[in-house]
Amino acid sequence: MSRKARERAVEEESVMGRDPLAADDEILARTFYGAPDREAEAKGQPVPTVVEEGEEAAAAPAPVPERRRRSRTKSGRRDSAPSHYRIVSISLYNEDIERIDSLVAELKARGHSKANRSALIRYAIDTIDIDGMPRSY
């Protein structure tokens, strides 16, 4: 949000004397993030309150509830993570990446519409002859 927009929002709020969306924000917070008042109380944080018609708005806006994190298993992996693959990071030289990309483009030109880097690397792993691999790699 730009500085002017923030200033306009502050000025508008002071003119109105209350935040007309405070009640809606709390409802959304409860619906999508659970009951923030119970969580906030447990953490010793201020509890957001609903501002009804005719009441004055609180001086500070209600805190935005934190996003809930997905629960993790004992091994540290997320419960919802697929078990048939893992994401790994590898380092490649720019020339190698360009070569892989050109091979993927060639495969696509030959009709392999779902060709991608991962598929190409998996194929290379399946067809490698480690006996012929030089020690320089």
Q: What is the pLDDT of residue 4?
A: 78
The model's pTM is 0.41
Enumerate residue ranges in the chain where pLDDT < 50. none
Q: What is the pLDDT of residue 9?
A: 72
- CB-based contacts of 129, cutoff 8 Å, min separation 6: none
Q: What is the pLDDT of residue 35?
A: 56
Q: What is the pLDDT of residue 104?
A: 97
Q: What is the pLDDT of residue 1?
A: 66
